[in-house]
């Protein structure tokens, strides 16, 4: 049967399960990546598994998120990560070398291979023709240990591209258009596979912008074919040897098809505060903006930054506006320094930040109260920037540059001709900031700062769950709401007792204390609960506080898995009316829960406070039922070892 590229690669890596949409499959993982904010936990978990060395073809540990060292915590974590990498066979990308996804694309990605990363934007690698999937740290730790990675075999959507992009319209606008049509819920259980004659008109960095922000659809991943453009890019990275041509069979059948004629697109913007609130830039043109930020793993390539520099050259950022640029990698940084683009940015009054995530994850540059901020990033969930009432707009670098000049949202087509920028024939190759693993692992000392707390484990699932509903939330609650990031909270990622004090901090700061008082508790949400990041802390910290079940209309993929991995039961409301009827602070009871989740998918829940029963549903596979009963994956792994 003629196959999609997605299914070809999955088939090559299939270890268990039937490769048909809706079945759980296990796949072999070639590469893993971690970043520091999720990596410390992932490596504590890997250590707990007792393996001497990783079993992947390649594993890389990046430091790019927790870069602001306002206390000892982050520096201690970086040192811990470096020791772990040396000892267990992992490459270590030092702080300053860049954002994991950008560096991985440049230096490590291989067409046709599988990559799992403890970061939701791991699908960036799909720009090179990889099956690259984001996951919680524990799943990445398992993959490092040579275990299969489990997903539901996806439905595949062909995004059929024709034509070529008009001037000032970019890869960012392609993914914003997909988000406009599909919304942040539209990708659940799906892979977006790009194809058609328009593909060859997109460079690898543009493709990577598209697959990167496919994460905002809630998709399992996104992928492009590996073609002559891929080869060109890899050649310019002096890695042509890893290239191989990859495409879907010509008559492949897809579950869905979406048509995009690139030549009809225009500059788009996602308005506050959701990546799918997309409108043409011209509709919001004239809106005053106080801050412009260029960078993040979505838009920080050499082309992106050079375009911004070309627009700003010889001019000054509009008075009263703050503009920052954070290069995606040291390669990009060094190249714009050599080309002179960096000088143009500095002379224009841009505030240059180091190569890393920076403002994208609230590591500094929180915008002023009540003011709009325009960013080339991928997420604008409420409060993510660090300012509670933030109004963040997401756009392409071209729109950002035009807006920086005028101080109001500006359609860059008003600036006239698009500056001509050639993609480099050769990138600057210098891997000296990537430290290979030690060949004498027994001599490596792992230094643990006082911020690195021992791993908490959940109890096995009890016979009965009876607890209070701590919060009732609406649709599309992101993990940034469940457990915020930012400069204050991120440094506590290796310390679950400490970070658990910030669970739902910006919704209701009394949650941690109420949870502790209640002993056992639950949370209720609407559709697409837990969208956004891969951070397993959004499950680990609630678990630590005694949360035993989360009820929602639907769950985002990674958070659903993370809840199960840490012994929290995700349950769906079968009828929306049951969601409506529930009140916060109601006490719910699930009797014989161990038996119930084994016997079937329907669970009877008693609302003790209001005196009625309703049916909820679990979507756990038989493998996941066993994990849930054990009180999480780590418990299960440990008991299988003893
Ligand atoms: C994000 O963009 O939200 C993050 C920070 O990169 C997260 C990972 C994390 O929370 O550490 C992600 O995307 O998975
Ligand atoms: Fe870093 Fe932002 Fe990308 Fe997350 S989305 S990896 S915080 S740059």
Among protein residues, the one whose CA lies closest to atom 2 of ligand 1 = 533
- Give the CA count within 13 Å in the CB-facing half-sphere of 452: 22
Q: Residue 481: helix, strand or coil by DSSP? A: helix
**Ligand showing the shortest atom-to-Cα distance for residue 532:** 1
**Residue 452 corresponds to which tokens in the numbers above?**
């690195």
Distance in Å, CA 533 to ligand 1 centroid: 5
In ligand 2, the atom with minimum distance to the C-alpha of 119 is 6
The question of whether 533 is a catalytic residue gets the answer yes
Distances, alpha carbon 526 to alpha carbons 135, 273, 473, 568, 578, in Å = 22, 17, 6, 17, 11
- Strand ranges across the sheet with 256-261: 221-223, 190-195, 155-162, 256-261
pLDDT for 286 equals 98
Residues 6+ away with beta carbon under 8 Å from 266: 166, 169, 173, 280, 281, 282, 413
The question of whether 65 is a catalytic residue gets the answer yes
Among protein residues, the one whose CA lies closest to atom 1 of ligand 1 = 533
Among protein residues, the one whose CA lies closest to atom 2 of ligand 2 = 360
The question of whether 535 is a catalytic residue gets the answer yes
CB atoms within 10 A of CB 408: 17
Distance in Å, CA 221 to ligand 2 centroid: 16
**Residue 96 corresponds to which tokens in the numbers above?**
């300053």
For residue 555, list its beta bridge partners: 529
Residues 350 and 345: their CA atoms lie apart, in Å, by: 5
> Annotated catalytic residue: which of 4, 222, 500, 533?
533
Residues 352 and 329: their CA atoms lie apart, in Å, by: 13
Burial 157-166 (b: 16+ CB within 10 A, else e): bbbbbeeebe
pTM above 0.75, yes or no: yes
Residues 513 and 285: their CA atoms lie apart, in Å, by: 45
pLDDT for 640 equals 83
Distance in Å, CA 407 to ligand 1 centroid: 29
Distance in Å, CA 534 to ligand 1 centroid: 6
Backbone angles phi, psi at 329, to 5 degrees: -155, 165
pLDDT for 591 equals 97
Q: In which element (H, E) is residue 604 found?
A: strand 602-607
Residue owning tokens 């799909």? 126
* Residue (of 186, 256, 242, 194) closest to 216 by Cα position: 186
In ligand 1, the atom with minimum distance to the C-alpha of 490 is 11
Distance in Å, CA 416 to ligand 2 centroid: 32
Distance in Å, CA 119 to ligand 1 centroid: 5
Among protein residues, the one whose CA lies closest to atom 3 of ligand 2 = 297
Residues 171 and 202: their CA atoms lie apart, in Å, by: 8
**Residue 323 corresponds to which tokens in the numbers above?**
């503009």
557-565 vs 622-630: helix crossing angle, rounded to 10: 50
> Annotated catalytic residue: which of 13, 121, 413, 535?
535
The question of whether 119 is a catalytic residue gets the answer yes
pLDDT for 325 equals 98
pLDDT for 639 equals 85
Residues 129 and 121: their CA atoms lie apart, in Å, by: 15
In ligand 2, the atom with minimum distance to the C-alpha of 361 is 7
> Annotated catalytic residue: which of 119, 139, 390, 480?
119
Distance in Å, CA 487 to ligand 1 centroid: 13
Residues 615 and 145: their CA atoms lie apart, in Å, by: 38
Give, for ligand 1, the residue of 503, 535, 540 to mutate: max count of ligand atoms closer than 8 Å to Cβ. 535
In ligand 1, the atom with minimum distance to the C-alpha of 35 is 11
CB 573 within 8 A of CB 616: yes
Among protein residues, the one whose CA lies closest to atom 1 of ligand 2 = 357
Residues 421 and 209: their CA atoms lie apart, in Å, by: 18
> Annotated catalytic residue: which of 379, 557, 560, 618?
379
CB 119 within 8 A of CB 130: no
Q: Residue 469: helix, strand or coil by DSSP? A: strand
Distance in Å, CA 11 to ligand 1 centroid: 29
Give, for ligand 1, the residue of 62, 486, 533 to mutate: max count of ligand atoms closer than 8 Å to Cβ. 533
Residues 541 and 482: their CA atoms lie apart, in Å, by: 9
CB atoms within 10 A of CB 447: 10
**Residue 331 corresponds to which tokens in the numbers above?**
């390669």
Distances, alpha carbon 575 to alpha carbons 276, 295, 551, 600, in Å = 26, 42, 12, 18
Question: Over the stretch 194-207, which tens digit does the pLDDT of each residue have?
Answer: 999 999 999 999 99
Residues 608 and 582: their CA atoms lie apart, in Å, by: 11
Who lines ligand 1 at CB under 6 A?
A: 37-38, 65, 119-121, 134, 361, 379, 485, 532-535
pLDDT for 1 equals 84
Residues 547 and 543: their CA atoms lie apart, in Å, by: 5
Contacts 24+ apart (CB under 8 A), 609-616: 609/583, 609/585, 610/581, 610/583, 610/586, 612/581, 614/573, 614/574, 614/575, 614/578, 614/581, 615/574, 615/575, 615/578, 616/551, 616/571, 616/572, 616/573, 616/574, 616/578
In ligand 1, the atom with minimum distance to the C-alpha of 558 is 14
The rounded average pLDDT for each run of 10 residues, N- to C-terminus, in the chain (642 residues) is 96 98 97 98 95 98 97 97 98 98 98 99 99 98 98 98 98 99 98 98 98 98 99 98 98 98 99 98 98 98 98 98 98 98 98 98 97 98 96 98 98 97 95 98 96 91 98 98 97 97 97 97 98 98 98 98 98 98 98 97 97 98 98 91 74
Residues 618 and 156: their CA atoms lie apart, in Å, by: 24
Residues 6+ away with beta carbon under 8 Å from 488: none
Residues 297 and 214: their CA atoms lie apart, in Å, by: 12
Who lines ligand 2 at CB under 6 A?
A: 65, 99, 119, 121, 296-297, 357, 360-361, 377-378
The question of whether 304 is a catalytic residue gets the answer no
């Amino acid at each position: 049967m003629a196959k999609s590229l997605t299914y070809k690669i999955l088939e090559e890596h299939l270890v268990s399960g039937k490769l048909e949409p809706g079945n759980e499959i296990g796949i072999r993982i070639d590469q893993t990546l971690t970043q520091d904010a999720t990596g410390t936990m992932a490596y504590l978990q890997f250590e707990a598994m007792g393996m001497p060395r990783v079993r992947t073809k390649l594993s890389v540990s990046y430091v790019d998120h927790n870069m602001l060292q306002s206390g000892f915590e982050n520096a201690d974590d970086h040192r811990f990560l470096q020791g772990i990498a040396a000892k267990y066979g992992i490459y270590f990308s030092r702080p300053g070398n860049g954002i994991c996804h950008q560096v991985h694309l440049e230096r490590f990605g291989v067409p046709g291979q599988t990559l799992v990363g403890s970061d939701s934007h791991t699908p960036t690698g799909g720009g090179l023709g990889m099956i690259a999937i984001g996951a919680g740290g524990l799943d990445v730790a398992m993959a490092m240990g040579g275990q299969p990675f489990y997903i539901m075999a996806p439905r595949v959507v062909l995004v059929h591209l024709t034509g070529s992009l008009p001037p000032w319209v970019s890869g960012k606008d392609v993914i914003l258009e997909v988000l406009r049509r599909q919304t942040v819920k539209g990708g659940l259980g799906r892979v977006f596979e790009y194809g058609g004659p328009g593909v060859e008109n997109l460079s690898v960095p543009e493709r990577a912008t598209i697959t990167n922000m496919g994460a905002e659809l809630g998709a399992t991943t996104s992928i492009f074919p590996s073609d002559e453009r891929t080869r060109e890019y890899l050649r310019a990275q002096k890695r042509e040897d890893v290239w191989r041509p990859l495409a879907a069979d010509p008559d492949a059948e897809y579950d869905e098809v979406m048509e995009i004629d690139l030549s009809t697109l225009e500059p788009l913007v996602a308005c506050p505060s959701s990546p799918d609130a997309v409108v043409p830039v011209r509709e919001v043109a004239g809106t005053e903006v106080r801050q412009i930020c260029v960078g993040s793993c979505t838009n920080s390539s050499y082309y992106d930054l050079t375009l911004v520099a070309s627009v700003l050259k010889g001019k000054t950022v509009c008075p009263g506006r703050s503009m920052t640029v954070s290069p995606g990698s040291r390669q990009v940084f060094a190249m714009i320094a050599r080309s002179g683009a960096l000088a143009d940015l500095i002379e224009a009054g841009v505030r240059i930040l180091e190569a890393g995530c920076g403002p994208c994850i609230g590591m500094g540059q929180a915008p002023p109260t009540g003011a709009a901020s325009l960013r080339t990033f991928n997420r604008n969930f409420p409060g993510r920037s660090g300012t509670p009432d933030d109004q963040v707009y997401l756009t392409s670098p071209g729109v950002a540059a035009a807006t920086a000049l005028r101080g109001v949202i500006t359609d860059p087509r008003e600036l006239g001709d698009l500056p001509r920028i050639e993609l480099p024939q050769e990138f600057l190759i210098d891997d000296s900031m990537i430290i290979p693993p030690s060949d004498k692992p027994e001599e490596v000392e792992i230094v643990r700062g006082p911020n690195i707390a021992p791993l908490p484990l959940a109890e096995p699932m009890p016979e009965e769950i009876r607890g209070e509903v701590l919060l009732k939330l609406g649709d599309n609650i992101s993990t940034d709401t469940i457990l915020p990031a930012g400069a204050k909270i991120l440094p506590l990622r290796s310390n679950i007792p400490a970070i658990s004090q910030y669970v739902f901090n910006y919704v209701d700061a009394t949650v941690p204390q109420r949870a502790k008082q209640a002993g056992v508790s639950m949370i209720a949400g609407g559709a697409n609960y837990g969208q956004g990041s891969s951070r397993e802390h959004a499950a680990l910290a609630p678990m630590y506080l005694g949360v035993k079940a989360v009820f929602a209309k639907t769950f985002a993929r990674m958070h659903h898995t993370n809840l199960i991995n840490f012994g929290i039961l995700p349950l769906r409301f079968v009828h929306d009316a049951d969601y409506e009827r529930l009140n916060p602070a109601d006490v719910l009871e699930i009797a014989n829960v161990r038996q119930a989740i084994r016997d079937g998918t329907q669970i009877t829940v008693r609302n003790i406070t209001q005196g009625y029963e309703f049916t909820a549903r679990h979507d756990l596979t038989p493998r996941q039922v066993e994990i849930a009963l054990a009180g999480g994956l780590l418990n299960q792994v440990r008991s299988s070892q003893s």
